[in-house]
Amino acid sequence: MHKTVLLNETIDGLDLKEDSVVLDATFGGGGHSAEILKRFPEVKIIALDQDASVWKSQPGISFHNKNFRNLDEVLKKEGKEKVDGIIFDLGLSSDQLENSGRGFSFMKDEPLFMTMKENPRPEDLTAREIVNDWDEQNLADIIYGFGEERYGRRIAGAIAQARKQKPIETTFDLVGIIKRAVPARYREGRLHFATKTFQAIRIAVNDELEALREGLKVGFESLRSGGRMAVISFHSLEDRITKRFFKDKQKAGEAILINKKPIVAKREEIKNNPRSRSAKLRIIQKQ
């Protein structure tokens, strides 16, 4: 069952009112939206997710099957120029990891898609295309750059060699290649040896970092004066982009930082939900 990370800290930080309009830019399991409506039944929530499978009709929520980089188009469709609060929860939901069948998890043997789209079109980029068709240098660049994987070059070389024998079709095919490429001591570390490579390929498939840059920009433009934006990130690249964007807005006199240091999960939450350990929450208020 999906557990929403930093739930109370996020909603408290948005400082909502009964008549607020909130954009849930990453609906996922719907935890933030559900808790907002529980506390503020009159709030209007506009929710987005590029994975249509997450949505089950709920009163008080208007859902759009869109990437948050296009949130301005959604607000225009809704007839809302400005909103009072925006939430970006950048983590994959447990349901997407465990039940999508799209190859997000290295713990299940599934086709190598890794796309957030429920029904990808033939022209959409997938992980299978990346590992089988991209040249070795590009593979090394994304595994190191997006995954911060120290053995990125070795893994890219192993992928390039393996695909000469036969196409890499499934998550377990890829996990086996990574396992053979990294040192034995690395395979026995606390973090699973395939974690960073899978993260890197997923980021590349979904253009996640550029989408975040665009989403933050259009999101900030869509906030009313005094409105707040909350971003929960789960790895350093996302957090770095968010931190830089927020600081730039502060320096320009366009916003104030609600928390100068990121809010992290308390010990009790980490105990109940280990994935919250890497979460960082930053909140900004538009001037």
Return the pLDDT at 118: 80
Mean pLDDT of the region 91-103: 76
Residue 1 has pLDDT above 60, yes or no: no
pLDDT above 90 covers a percentage of the chain that reads: 87
pLDDT of residue 96: 66
Residue 254 predicted with pLDDT over 80: yes
Tell me the per-residue pLDDT of 157-211, one tens digit each, with 9 for 90 and over: 999 999 999 999 999 999 999 999 999 999 999 999 999 999 999 999 999 999 9
Report residue 54's pLDDT band, with 50, 70 and 90 as the boundaries. Answer: confident
Q: What are phi and psi of 223, to 5 degrees?
A: -80, 140
Q: Which residue has the higher pLDDT, 139 or 96?
A: 139
pLDDT at 95: 67
In the chain, what are the domains? 7-94+208-286 (3.40.50.150), 100-206 (1.10.150.170)
Please indicate whether residue 65 or residue 54 has the higher confidence score (pLDDT).
65
Q: How confident is the model at residue 224 (pLDDT cuts 50, 70, 90)?
A: very high
- Give pLDDT, residue 275: 86
Res. 57: pLDDT tops 90: no
Predicted confidence at residue 248, as pLDDT, reads 98
DSSP the chain: ----TTHHHHHHHHT--TT-EEEES--TT-HHHHHHHHH-TT-EEEEE-S-GGG----TTEEEE---GGGHHHHHHHHT-S-EEEEEEE-SPPHHHHHHS-SS--TTS--BS---S-SS--TTS--HHHHHHHS-HHHHHHHHHHHH--TTHHHHHHHHHHHHHHS---BHHHHHHHHHHHS-HHHHTSSS-TTHHHHHHHHHHHHTHHHHHHHHHHHHHHHEEEEEEEEEEESSHHHHHHHHHHHHHHHHTTSEEES-SS-B---HHHHHH-GGGGG-EEEEEEE-
Interval 45-72 mean pLDDT = 93
Predicted TM-score (pTM) of the model is 0.93
